[in-house]
Amino acid sequence: MSENHPDARRRLLLGGTVASGLAAAIGATAARADEAATAPVTRDPNITTAYPRPPFPEQSQPWPGLTGKMVPRPDHGETSYKGSGRLAGRKALVTGGDSGIGRAAVIAFAREGADVAFNYLPAEEADAQEVVKLIEDAGRKAYPLPGDLRSADFCRQLVADAVQKLGGLDILVSNAAMQHAAPSILDISDQQFDDTFKCNVYALFHLSKAALPHLRPGASIIATSSVNAYDPGEGIIDYAATKAAIANFCKGLAKQVAAKGIRVNAVAPGPFWTPLQVTGGQPTAKLPTFGADTPIGRPGQPAELAPVYVLLASDEGSYITGQVYGAVGGHGGP
Ligand code: NAD
Ligand code: MG
């Protein structure tokens, strides 16, 4: 077990053998935390106007899409997320970490002190390289691990590679997904149905199964579900069914591994401004009003979800397991 593993650090602290170097490091972290806590809030505190509101320009990109081509460009917390050492020394693997909600989680994890391995598709290398820089700028180690999660073998290899590079694993975020809107069940090909389940559900199973033997007490598995788990959109019924399966799987697995000290939760977002939506996730004609029908009146930005992933990954979430955490702009939920 590495010295940085949370268990090892906990034992050091509890055993009363805190070396002066460690005490100094904790002091420095506390000082940084104080700074972060007292820094002036520069963002608009009004939730309705804090981020871009519809109408948005009509746009589309070939799947899987790139962040830099979106108008407006999504906010992943690049200039706003402030860490306070909540994941110091942790080792995280995040799928779909190149863009959108996964990128926001990766930035936050790194700024909270975690080293991060992340997965993406080879076509997303440009986004991935931006994320590598963001992790390294936070002073943490970055391991980009491209590949296709529809393959069970690849899922197993991904976990093995992440464990080897990171030197262990404390946090698994199964976040990647495929979503292709189709107005009728008659428009959903067998291939699309298969791909959507393989990427969204099977990968969660294979990744969790491969990760479990490496996880120690204090570890956390987080999967990205969706409001569609409870309230399926009529134009994305295959995707919605995968999101229901994900939420259900997390609740069941949480019961199974709680006694090992491992937590499992899902996050269920509503409309968030990410490449998924402009690459066929929504009909193009619906994008200008994306998020307009929420009580807040706009879509969420990935940055607004990062604190949820941090909470679920950190020791502060110690009694939160088997839950589905919603963020739907004012409605939705079970
Ligand atoms: P995104 O496009 O930024 O992220 C999805 C990622 O999935 C891609 O970056 C890609 O790397 C990965 N991916 C897709 N197919 C893959 C495959 N076969 N193999 C490996 N990786 C693959 O979009 P996002 O909205 O940030 O999506 C992240 C998660 O959030 C998804 O689970 C999505 O279902 C969920 N979600 C999004 C919204 C929303 O409105 N954006 C709402 C609810 C849930
Ligand atoms: Mg992407």
Query: What residues does each domain of the chain span?
Result: 1-37, 59-327
> Across the chain, what does the average pLDDT equal?
90
- Judge whether residue 19 has pLDDT over 90: no
pLDDT interval class at 13 (50, 70, 90): very low
The token pair that represents 215 in the structure block: 């996880």
- Judge whether residue 178 has pLDDT over 90: yes
CB of 220 closer than 6 A to ligand 1? no
Are 54 and 291 spatial neighbours (Cβ–Cβ below 8 Å)? yes
| Structure confidence at residue 51 (pLDDT) | 97
CA 276–ligand 2 middle distance (angstroms): 7
CA 39–ligand 2 middle distance (angstroms): 31
- Positions marked catalytic: 239
Residues 6+ apart with CB under 8 A from 135: 106, 107, 110, 115, 116, 141, 142
Percent of the chain with pLDDT over 90: 86
Which protein residue's CA is at the shortest distance from atom 39 of ligand 1? 272
- Judge whether residue 36 has pLDDT over 90: no
Does the model's pTM come out above 0.75? yes
Q: Which CATH class is domain 59-327?
A: alpha beta
CA 100–ligand 2 middle distance (angstroms): 7
Across the chain, how many H-helices and E-strands are there?
Answer: 10, 7
